[in-house]
Structures are given as structure tokens and as C-alpha cells.
Structure 1
Amino acid sequence: MCGITGIFAFNLVGKFNKIQITNATMAIQKRGPDFQDIYIDEWVGLGHRRLSIIDTTSVAHQPMWDESKRYCIVFNGEIFNYQELRRELERKGYTFFSHSDTEVLLKLYIDQKEKCLNKLNGFFSFCIYDKAEQTFFVARDRFGIKPLLYLFDEDKFLFSSEMKSLLQYGIEKNIDYNSLYTYLQLNYIPAPDSIFLNVKKLMPGHYMMVSRQNIDIQSYYQIPYNRDEAERNPISYKDAQAKLMQLLEASVQRRLVADVPLGAFLSGGIDSSVITALASKHKPDLHTFSIGFRDEKFFDETNYARLVAKHFKTEHTVFSLTNSDLYTHVNAVLDYIDEPFADSSALAVYILSKETRKHATVALSGDGADEMLAGYNKHAAFNRIIHKGVKEKLVGSFHSLWKALPQSRNSSLANKARQLARFSEGMKLSSKDRYWRWASYADKDETLAMLHPDLRINRWLSEFVPRRKSILQNIPDQESINDILLTDMQLVLPNDMLTKVDLMSMANGLEVRVPFLDYEVVNFIFSLPGEFKINGQYRKRILQDAFRDVLPAQLYNRPKKGFEVPLLKWFRNEMKSLIVDDLLSEQFIQAQGIFDYREIEKLKQQLFSSNPGDVHARIWGLIVFQSWWKKIM
């Protein structure tokens, strides 16, 4: 796991940016605290920060050249089947000077060019420079576990693992108001777009070939999902459980290879417990890590985590935190974010990663299971609407009542009213609009009203509709649960969940591996009928049933909880002055010229009212953006 950056200059103007390659590499030092090196020639610069995981010797440092000195690679990630690929290459006559997966990847590309991507089992973003042909080959893994940002104009091509690195090249910082509009709804910015007009993100499962003043982007992988074939899959439910267990165990085994200490996140939920069960089977000395919230007992799952750890005899460490501990790290998280990103659970992931890094350099995680196997509240809601009966129609008919009731996440009754209001609202919408509304914290009218009047008619906003259409293209008029899960895999997983884990783990020099996102596991899961994943009683049904005899019985039939932090309490207390007198003050808003202060004032009034609803999430989105603006712009 590392940080990478590079430049391909097309002319003398582009060459001027090349002098910043060292600063651009230094900007991502937290991703790779172990070593830094750069390569520079007349037109090209490549930089690498290393977090040593496999073959920690100096011979595996990057940028890495093949023996002919024609090909050079900078690589971020891990190739878990590299030993098998190495043996194949050796049979063809290739020799190796290191024991690293980096060298295997380099020589596999030399042998098979872009077709090498289909053979890789792992997660990655990388660039290979062909000095003879004067080209860059740049690729990103199938599901977007590792990031890759780039800028391409008439003078140069730039790429990096993080925005803060690209900024070192002195790029123009022109806000993309379509991206801002999307961010104000989702609290993140989906690829291929970024907060800046000229910076893009390479989509998961894509590669690009860059030559002088030309760029060609191609897809090499899409989840092989066919709705009709999945629903007609003849495999029995029992056989599907056995197959899922087999594939997951093989995936976990592949991800246990490391030359440094390795552990696992263990929340006490089904997903991380499954990973712990399988990992402990092959690594008896497995170290597991949990985070607990002493002041928020409703969200504290450490008792379940301890139960699982005891069951599988892992060495277990619990980091028990107070709200004060959480609040202490707010500034560290805001400081590291280099593009507006407002999933507030990033704070908990940051602390978990920071504490875990004191004991291990690699951690396994259960990410990806919820998106594939219908683990979220919205999936249960979609399932109810897809199979709606009298009860659902009755709930929908009382929309005005639910809307009128006090709504908040701070009490069970107010939270239920909030959920009923969102459900009944969604029932009235088309399938595409329903998905977008349930993925959002604000609807399009609320979002547009937040923007300064001059921006509401800005020509940039005309591009939002095709962006939204592209994101929702896989949802038909009559959706199935698999259609929803596929869209989650393409929108929520890479742009929210995986971005959160990558940013917060890399901020602490920790590599996180995700066994559920082995492509063989994903391909199999999307070949299964929706009823295998969710029914009226269970979410992640097949996963729960497959491991029912393996996991402690106490994990079953209990409410799903998530990484949540007490934003509402902070906003009304410790952060009140920051909100009222600084980031969302009338003076700052008016001088900035992006938001309509009248709408911001309404949000602040709602925040301090008895009926806050979900406004804390929207306020957090504004805090993150304003903090980013002051730091970057």
C-alpha cells in the first residue's frame, strides 16, 4: 500500500510543472511512511511513497524498472495472486530480482499489456511508463478500493492518489458547481467527477493509455449481472451457501499474505465476524480490534465483538472512547480531507485506524457485504415496496401525518417518524427518483435553494441531469433488489464507503484489505436471486444462514447498528461557536458568494430546534465544505 503521483509533460509549458514532483510526492507521505523516491527525465516525472508490506527490502522500492530499463512502474495496492502469476511468468522464461508483487505486475504487463488486468486478484492503482513508446498505462482496480485522480490538458497529464498531491503542481482551482450540487445532496462527489472542473477520477474497472497530447480510456471489467439470469439461477439455496463459504474462505486466505503484522477489524456485526472466523482458522494468532463508545451505549457493539473474539480465540483489543475523545480528532479528520467528503463515520474509522496502526500494519475489514447482500435499512424499504401489501400502502397514505411529527435521530420515536416519512415519500416516487431520494440528505429543490441566486442559473448546473442519469442507468421502471444493489456497488461503495476507509486508514499508514470484494466473490453473489439476499425477515440472508453454525448464536436477530458519531450534540455544544460565528456565519457566507445565507440560516434554526430531522448531516456537509474552502481556496 502506497501513494503514487506522476506527470507527463507534452510541451515546455507542461515541463514547468515537472519541478513540483518532489512536493507532490511529499504531500502523500502519510500513505507511505517507509520510503520515498522519484524518477525524472526530460518529459516525465514519477513519485512514490512506500508502505512496506510484501518484500520489505530495498530491492522492492519504487519507482521500479525492469532489467531492460524500458518499463517503469509506480504502484499502490496489493496483488494477492502474485505468487501464482510469478510461476506462470517463470515458465515463460522471465526472471525476478525481488520477491515483490510490484515486479510481478510490471512483468505481467510487459508480457500481456492491458490484458494483464483480467488476471489480477487484488486492489490497485498504478502507472507503467514505457520509455521507448513514450506512453503511460494507468489502471484502477475493479471496485475502486484504491483511488486515482488525474488532470489532462493540452500541456500535461498529471495523476495522483490524492487531491492534495495534485494541488502541489499548481493546478487551477475552478469549482465544478455540478459537483458541489451533487455533494450537497449526497455528502460526497461520485467519480468520474471531482470538486474541480479540470480534475477527474478514473472509474473503477477502467484503464487509460496516455501518449503525447492524447488519452484513451477503456473499461476492462463490469460486474457480470443479468437480472433475468440471476432470478432463474438453478442453484439451490443450500448449495449457494456452501459456495459462498468456499469463495470467502479462499478470499480471506489470499489476504493473509504479509511480511508485517496483520489483524482484523471486529465490530461485532455479522460481516466482520465472518471475516474474523475465516481468518482465525488460518491464522491462530490473529489480533482483532474494536472501537467502542462509552457515552453512546446504543451504538456500542464491543460486547458482541468480545464475544466473537473469545469464540475464535483471537487476541482482542478494544479502544473505548468518550464523546470527548471523538471530538478531539475532528480537526485531524478535517485537515486530511482534500476534497469535500462528509460521511461523518469517517471520524470513527480514523480513530480505529490510528489505534490499530499501533499494533498492526494491515487489517482485514468486512466492507462491501452490505452493498452486495442488502444490509441497509433502505434495502429493507425497497424490498417492502417491491413486494408491497396492505401495510405498506397504509403507511404511504399517512405521509402527511409522519411529515408533521417531530423527526430526529436522537430518540427512538422521533427516529421512527423520520423513517416513516422517508418511506412514505419514497413510495410516491419513480424507481430512479426513489433511489436518489433515499441516497440523499436533501432533495433537488432544497439543494438548489442553498446556492447563491447567481449560481442557480449557472450553466454548470445543466450538466447535473446527465450525470444523475448515468448513475441511475441500471435501475429500470420496475426495480428488483439486485438492481438496487448493483447501483450501490457503483455509487455508494466506491465513492462513499471505500473512499472513507482509504482516506482514514491511509492518514494513519494502515493498509485495509476487503475480502468481500474479491472479484470471484462479487461475481458469484451477483449471479444469485434477490430472495437469497433479503426477505421479509432477514437482510444479508444467505450470509447469515451460511455461517449460522460457525458464529455465536447471540449475533443473530439483533438490530443492525453502524458507525455513527454524536454530531447533533456537538453542534449544539462544543461546535456551536464554530458554526454560528465562523464557518456558517453571515459574514463568511456573504463574502464567499457560494451559498444563500437565508437558506443557511434556516438550517441553523432547524439544527437548534426540537425537530432537527436529518439536518445535522447537511450541517456536517457544510462544515466540511467550508473547512475545505478555507484550507484549499
Structure 2
Amino acid sequence: MCGILGQISFKNTQQWNIVKFEKSLSLQKHRGPDDKGIYTDDRVILGHRRLSIIDLDSHAKQPMISKCKNFVIVFNGEIYNYQEIKEQLKQKGYSFHTKSDTEVLLNAFIEYGIDAVKQFIGMFAFAIYDKKNAKVYIVRDRLGIKPLYYYQDENNFTFSSEIKSILALNDIERKIDLDAVSSYFSFRYPILDNTFFDGLLSLPPAHYIELTNHSLKIKEYWNVSNQFLEQQNDKGEEFYIKELKKILESSVKYRMISDVPFGSFLSGGVDSSVITAIMAKSSNTPIKTFTIGFEEEGYNEFDFAKMIADRYHTEHREILISGENYIDTMEHLIDYKDAPLSVPNEVPLYLMSKELKKYITVVLSGEGADEIFGGYGRIFRSPYDYERMKHIDEVDWTEQEKEEFCINFIRKYGVMCFQHEVDHFINIYSYTSLKEKKELLDETIDLDGIEKKFIEKFLRYFNELKNESYYNRLMYTFEKIHIVGLLQRVDMTTMATSVEARVPFVDHRVVEFAFTIPLKYKLKWKSEEDKFMSKLLMSDKISEVHDTPKYILKKAYEDMIPTEVLYRKKMGFPVPLNNWFGGHFNEYAKNILLDDKARKRGLYNIKNIKKWLNSDRLGKDHSFAMKIWMLINLELFCRKYFDENHFGSN
């Protein structure tokens, strides 16, 4: 696990500023504190910061040059099945001088070309320079576990694991991307493959860039859409349970391969508990586990985490944080992310990573299970609302039942009907509605025009599965959109402390298999009576009351996880924002959002923000407080990166 940086010249020759490049690379020292390296010729300059995980020997350092001297690689990530690939390559006559997965990746590319990536089980962002053919390939893993940003001008193409290095290396006119601002409030991160910096982009997951002097091509190399066809061949619950356990346990065991100490995040929820249980079963020594929570009552899950820790005899540690600690860390963490924080739990994740670094360097985490197994019941059950309203004139209900259903629908969605599934999807998926954004943001921002771009993106994904059910189109779009933001947060909060996070549920084999499982095994009605009782209810009243989200995963591990953990209501990762901003942090919010800098920013509707800050809802409504929290993050980010020219080029 590392940080990478590279620059490719569009000219035939280039004199590189090595000092400036080294300084830009050093901004990623937290990603790779153990070593650094730079390769340069008249066309490229490649840099690497190393966090040693597999093969700690210095011979495995990067940039790594092939035996034939024609290829150079910089690589961030892990190829977990590198030993198997290595054996294949040995049979083809390749020899190896290190025990690292980097050398295996490089030789696999030499043998198979870009198709080598299809063999990799892992997480990765890498660049390979083919000197002989004057080409550079820049590749990002299938699900977007590892970040990869890029920027180009008329002279050079720059790529990096972190935005700050690109800003430091290039003379970029800093202009905030308004599409990203709107996307942030709706979806918590920029979903259009953009960033908060106009012109600085993110390479989409499962894509690679092929770069020559004359062209730049971006191509997709993996897509999960065809897996849904397998659902038509229902193989039965027992098959899916058996196969899921086989693949998931393989995924966890792969992610336990390490030459440094490892452990797991243990929140007390289903996903981290399953991973911890598999790890414990697969290890001869106690697993190190960590959980975090807040001092406020009801804002930690220590009891449930301890239940799992006790059952599997882990070396367990609890970390408790306060509100003051939270705010100080929040401001600091923006420097690592090069963006506003997306969700409040990024702070506790970072603080936990900071603590666990004292004991381990690799941590396994449970991200991704909700997205692929239907864990967000209120969202994944919501197509049931849409379909019933769409066909309300055709159902055999009394007029009184139809009236009650319509009242419930309007109460939940604020409208009587939706023209298209995508309109319904945006309604349930947007954290901040278009109406609220128009209240909080400056009227000069074309929010309607930006919203059309989001609709176009969602329509593209929906149309890729045009013959599938709305349920499957929704889940597919979640895989395309939601997981990326989630993984970005995990990578940032852990790498900021020089810890490598590994995510077994986002193994592409697990994801592919999950999308072959029919819906009824993911969102399972508790009984026919429960289904009947739900006919007039909305998804938020149905989920976890009349159905079981993530059923197949829970059923598969009933013998390993206590019922109290497995079937309790989903809690998420609560942060007591409304407690704080309704109390002594309210003044903090006002000092930031109502001062002259914010007023002159041209982003906010200060008059309406003032009303929100003085509202009683701030101390009572978490969603209301969350939007104030997001405004604060955006303004703190703008001050650091646009007022102070943070990580500026010089």
C-alpha cells in the first residue's frame, strides 16, 4: 500500500524539475512512510512512496524496472493472488528476484498486456510505462478501492493517488467545480468522475487510460451488468449460502496475507462481525479488534462488539471520543482528503486508525456488504412503493385502501407520482433535495442544469440494465455510484495514519456472485402475513419490521454470529451532531458560516443559513444538523484550498 505520482510529457523531450517533483511526492508521506523512489527519463517522471506490507526487503522498492529494461511500474495496492499468478509465469519461463506482488504484476503485464488485469484479485491503482512503444497505461481497480486522480494541460499529463500532489506539481488556476458542490450535498461526493477542483478528474473504477504522444483513451475493462441474468436460474437458498461462504471466506483469507501485523474493525454490526468471525476461525493466534464510540449515551455499540470479541477471544480495544476532539480532528482531516468530509463518521474512523496503528498496519473492514446484499432496506425495498403507485389503478384494493396508500406515499415522497424510475431513485437517494439546495446555496448557481447531469448519469446506468427489474437497476446503480464514495472514505481515513484497509466484501468475485442471487434471498419477507400487512405501507415502515434485509448473508452465518447481533436493527455509525449543534457547537457553526469570508464566497444563501442556524430543529433533527455540518465542511475546505492556496505550486 503506497502513494504514487507521475507526469508524462506530450513533447518528445522534457527537463523535469526533480526538486519540485520530490516535494510534491513527499506530500503523500503518510501513505508511504517506509521508503521512496523516483524514475525519470526524457518522457516520464514516476514517483512512489512505500508502505511495506508484503516483502519488506528493499529490493521490492519502486519504481520497479523490468528485467528487459523496457517497462517501469509504480503501484499502489495489493494483488492477493500473486503467488498463483507467479507460478503460472514461472512455467512460461519468467524468473523473479523479489517476493513482492509488484514484480508479479509487472511480469503479468509483460506477458498478457492489459488483459493481465482480469486475473488480479485485489485492490490497485498502477501505471506501467512501456518504453519501447512509448505508451503509458494507468489502471484503477474494479470497484474503486484505490484512488487515482489526473490532470492534463497542453504540455503534460499528471496522475496521483492524492489531489494535493497534483496541485503542488502544476500551476493550476484554482476554481471550484460547482457540479461537485451540488453533488456533495445530494450524494456526499462528486459522482461525475470530477473533483472539487475544476479540470482535475478521477479515473472511474474498472477503467484504464492508454496514453501516447498523440492520444488519450479511457476504456472500461470490467462490468458486473451481465451477472443479473443468472438470477433467472434460481438455484435455491442452500446453494447460495454454500457458495457465498466459500467465496467470502476465500476473500477474507486472501486479505490476511501480510508480512506485518493485522486486525479488524469491529463495530458490533453484522458485516464486521462476520469478517472477524472468519478471521478468528482462520487464525492460530487471537485477532486484534478495535471499536470506537462517543461519550453521549446511545452513540456507541461497545456491548455488541464486546459480544463478538468475547466469543472469538480477540484482543479487543475500545476507543471513546468527545465532541471537542471531534471538531479539532475534522478540520485537520480535510487536509488529508483534499475535499470536504462526506459523512461524520470519517472522523472516528480516522481516530480509530490512528490508535490501531500502535498495534497493527493492516486492518480488515466490512464496507460493501450493504450495497451488494440489500442492506439499506429502506432504499432497496422502495421500488415496491414505486411499482404499487404505478399500478394502483390495476390492483384489487378497495377505494379506502387506495386512499390510505396514496396518503402514505405523499407523506413519504412529497409527490403523488414519478414520471420515471430515475426520478423516484433521485428522490430516495439524494441526501439533500433540490429544494433544500436552492435554500442553502447561492441563487446564481444553476442547480437545475446540474441536476440534469445527474439524471443523465443515472439514466445511463438504468439503461445498461433496461430489461431488468427496477430493484436490480437500483442495486446496479448503487454498485456504480455509492460504493466508490464509501471506499474513498475508508482509504483516506486509514492511509492518513499509514494503515492499509482491506475490504473483503468488495472482492470482485463476491460482488459478481452477489448479483447472481435473486432478490428474494436478499430482501426476504418474514412471512406471507408480513407481506400482506405491508401492502399499504412504505418501505421505511416495512424494512426490518416485515422483512429481513441482507437475509442471505445473515442466514449463512447464523451458526457463527449471535442472534442479538445478526438480527438487530441496523444502526449505522451514529454521531451526535444534533446534540452538539443544538448546544455549544452552535456558536462554532455561526462563526464559520456567517462571517465575511463565507458571505463573500458566492456559494451560500447566507440569509437562509442564518434561519437554519437559529431553528429549533438543529438540536432535534439529525438530518437538519447534518446539512449544517456539510456546509461547515465545505467552507473550511474552501478556506484551505482556495483562500490559502493549500499545497500550492511554487
TM-score, normalisation: structure 1:
0.90
- The question of 1:526 aligning with 2:535 is answered no
What corresponds to 1:416 in structure 2?
none
> Do the aligned residues in 2 keep the contact of 1:285 with 1:315 (CA within 8 Å)?
no
**In structure 2, how many angstroms separate the alpha carbons of the residues matched to 1:8 and 1:184?**
35
Task: Note the 1:177-576 alignment, pairs <5 A.
Answer: 177-225=178-226, 227=228, 229-379=229-379, 381-382=381-382, 384-385=384-385, 394=404, 396-398=406-408, 421-422=411-412, 430-456=420-446, 463=453, 465-470=455-460, 473=463, 479-495=469-485, 497-536=486-525, 537-576=547-586
Contact 1:137/1:210 (CA < 8 Å) preserved in 2?
A: yes
- SS of alignment partner, residue 632 of structure 1: helix
What is residue 155 of structure 2 aligned with on the other side? 155
Q: Is residue 151–residue 157 contact of structure 1 (8 Å, CA) maintained in 2? A: yes
Identity of aligned residues (%): 32
Provide the secondary structure at the position in 1 that maps to 2:263.
Answer: strand
Deviations 1:319-338 (A, max 9, x none): 23344443442232233220
| Cα distance between partner residues in 1 of 2:145 and 2:28 | 17
Paired letter, 1:95:
S
Q: Does 1:145 align with 2:155?
A: no
Distance 1:622 1:13, change over 3 A: farther
Query: What is residue 613 of structure 2 aligned with on the other side?
Result: 604
Does the CA contact (< 8 Å) of 2:234 and 2:518 recur in 1?
Answer: no
The amino acid that maps onto 1:96 is F
2:634 maps to 1:625: yes
Asked whether the equivalents of residues 21 and 46 of structure 1 are also in contact (C-alpha less than 8 Å), the reply is no
Q: 1:313 to 1:498 in 2, by over 3 A?
A: same
Distance in 1 between residues matched to 2:456 and 2:18, nearest whole Å:
35
Look up the SS of the partner of 1:441 in the other structure.
coil
Equivalent pairs, count: 610
Change (3 A) 1:118 1:301: same
1:263 and 1:286 in contact (8 A); partners too: no
CA-CA distance at 1:399 after TM superposition: 6.3
Distance 1:422 1:457, change over 3 A: closer
Residues 1:174 and 2:175 are matched in the alignment: yes
Query: Are the counterparts in 1 of residues 577 and 622 from structure 2 also a CA contact under 8 Å?
Result: no
The amino acid of 1:443's aligned partner reads S
1:594 has 2:606 as partner: no
Q: Which amino acid aligns with 1:189?
A: P
Partners of 1:476 and 1:353 in 2: CA distance = 42
Q: For residue 44 of structure 1, what is the amino acid of its counterpart? A: V
Deviations 1:4-35 (A, max 9, x none): 01000223998567763212211111111111
Q: Which moved more, 1:84-93 or 1:266-275?
A: 266-275
* Corresponding residue SS for 2:423: helix
Cα offset, 1:605, TM superposition: 3.2
Alpha-carbon contact 1:334-1:628 (below 8 Å) kept: yes
| 1:128-177 deviation digits (Å, cap 9, x = unpaired) | 11222222110000000001001123211000011111111132322222
Q: Is the CA contact 2:300–2:574 (under 8 Å) kept in the aligned structure 1?
A: no
- Give, in whole Å, the separation in 2 of the partners of 1:479 and 1:599: 41
How big is the shift at 1:426? 8.9
Amino acid corresponding to residue 187 of structure 1 in structure 2? R
Give 1:287 shift.
2.5
Call closer, same or farther: CA 1:468–1:426 in 2, change over 3 Å.
farther
- Cα offsets for 1:340-366 (capped at 9, x unmatched): 342111112111211111111001111
Deviation at 1:623, TM superposition (A): 1.1
Q: Which SS does the other structure have where 1:291 is aligned?
A: strand
- 1:357 and 1:508 in contact (8 A); partners too: yes
1:609–1:622 CA distance, 2 compared to 1 (3 A): closer
Distance 1:30 1:175 in 2: 26
Residue 70 of structure 1, CA deviation: 1.6
1:481 CA drift (Å): 2.6
Provide closer, same or farther for how the CA distance between residues 7 and 48 of structure 1 changes in structure 2, counting only shifts above 3 A: same
* 2:106 aligned residue: 106
Q: For residues 517 and 446 of structure 1, do their structure 2 counterparts lie closer, same or farther at Cα, with a shift above 3 Å needed?
A: same
Unaligned runs of 5+ in 1: 401-420
In the TM superposition, what is the alpha-carbon distance from 1:470 to its structure 2 partner?
3.7
Contact map agreement 2:421 2:470 (CA 8 A) in 1:
no
Offset at 1:105? 0.3
8 Å contact 1:262–1:360 — kept in the other structure?
Answer: yes
When residues 392 and 568 of structure 1 are mapped into structure 2, their CA distance, relative to the original with a 3 A threshold, is: farther
Gaps of 5+ in 2: 389-394, 526-546, 643-650
Whether the 8 Å contact between 2:341 and 2:630 is mirrored in structure 1 is yes
Closer, same or farther: CA 43–327 of 1 in aligned 2, 3 Å: same
Query: Contact 1:384/1:392 (CA < 8 Å) preserved in 2?
Result: no
Q: In the alignment, is the contact (CA less than 8 A) between 1:65 and 1:73 conserved in 2?
A: yes
Question: Which deviates more from structure 2 when the two are superposed, residues 135-144 or residues 66-75?
Answer: 66-75
Aligned to 2:648: none
Runs of 4+ in 1 over 6 A off after TM superposition: 389-393, 457-462
Q: Distance in 2 between matches of 1:606 and 1:87?
A: 65
Deviating more after overlay: 619-628 vs 319-328: 319-328
Q: CA–CA distance in 1 between the matches of 2:480 and 2:568? A: 29
> Match for 2:625 among 613, 616, 628?
616
Contact 1:607–1:615 (Cα < 8 Å) also in 2: no
Q: Give 3-state SS (helix, strand or coil) of 2:99's partner.
A: coil
State how far apart, in whole Å, the 2-side matches of 1:479 and 1:299 are.
Answer: 37
Matches of 1:462 and 1:543 in 2, distance apart?
A: 37
Aligned partners of 1:222 and 1:478: how far apart in 2?
Answer: 16
CA contact (8 A) 1:431 1:479 kept: no
- Partner of residue 410, structure 1: none
1:492-525 Cα shifts (integer Å, max 9, x gaps): 1112x10110110011111111111111111111
Aligned equivalents of 1:247, 1:460: Cα separation in 2: 41
Q: CA deviation at 1:478?
A: 8.6
- 1:80–1:257 contact (8 Å) kept in structure 2: yes
Q: 1:624 Cα deviation (Å)?
A: 1.2
User: 1:417 — aligned with what?
Assistant: none
2:533 is aligned to none
Which residue in the other structure is 1:35 paired with?
35
Change (3 A) 1:231 1:91: closer
Change (3 A) 1:323 1:624: closer
199-208 vs 385-394, which deviates more? 385-394
Name the SS for the 1:296 alignment partner: coil
Contact 2:331–2:636 (Cα < 8 Å) also in 1:
no
| Separation in structure 1 between the aligned mates of residue 348 and residue 125 of structure 2, nearest angstrom | 26
Taking a change above 3 Å as real, the CA distance of residues 476 and 423 of structure 1, as seen in their structure-2 partners, is farther
SS of equivalent residue, structure 2 residue 147: coil
- Taking the aligned partners of 1:385 and 1:315, their CA distance within structure 2 comes to 45
AA in 2 matched with 1:602: K
Tell me which amino acid in the other structure corresponds to 2:10: F
Tell me how far apart the structure 2 counterparts of residues 249 and 78 of structure 1 sit (CA, whole Å).
Answer: 18
Deviates more, 1:479-488 or 1:560-569: 479-488
- Normalising by structure 2, we get a TM-score of 0.88
Two-structure CA RMSD over aligned residues (Å): 2.6
- Tell me which moved more, 322-331 or 346-355: 322-331
